[in-house]
Amino acid sequence: MTSCVDQGLRMELILASGESVPVSACLLYTSRDPFAVHIDFHAALGDPTRWVFSRDLLARGLLQPSGRGDVWLWPSGAGRGAMLHLALSSPHGSAQLEAALPVVARWLERTYQLVPPGREADMLDLEGELARLLHGTG
């Protein structure tokens, strides 16, 4: 049985000028992909853009600068005004965004209620996936 935890989120896209533009996003976690978090960014037109990265990376990024390669996270501020910064890069471009850290932290706690840390592998059906690959079903 797959369960998910999602959360609508307002983020700010930080422009090169230092100004910011609001961006609607949705955080998604599913027990079917227990090691990953998904963020869908909704632009005014078109399909959402999805980024996927490690739930552990998100947890570390709430506490200290973390990341490597195309995803970097770091906290700033304290209390209700704390912010989570997210820097994304790809061959198509890069973006820096901010979100309210307490909102993201509460959502992350909800994912831990669904799949506790260290129990992610318990959610995987490796034998079933292997059988589907070997028998060409799926």
pLDDT on residue 37: 95
Radius of gyration (Cα) for the chain, nearest Å? 16
Q: Name which of 89, 86, 51 is nearest 70 in CA terms.
A: 89
pLDDT on residue 125: 61
Angle at 113 between CA 26 and CA 59, to 5 degrees: 60
Structure-token pair, residue 102: 């307490």
Q: Name which of 97, 98, 75, 80 is nearest 88 in CA terms.
A: 97
If one counts the domains in the chain, the total is 1
Say which residues have a Cβ less than 8 Å from residue 68's Cβ, sequence separation at least 6: none
CATH number at residue 84: 2.30.31.20
Q: In what order do the strands lie in the sheet with 49-54?
A: 49-54, 36-42, 20-30, 4-14, 93-100, 83-90, 71-76, 66-68
| Residue numbers of the domain that contains 71 | 4-135
Sequential pLDDT tens for the chain (138 residues): 558 899 999 999 999 899 999 999 999 999 888 889 999 998 777 788 899 999 999 999 999 999 988 999 999 999 999 999 999 999 888 999 999 999 999 999 999 998 888 666 666 665 666 666 677 765
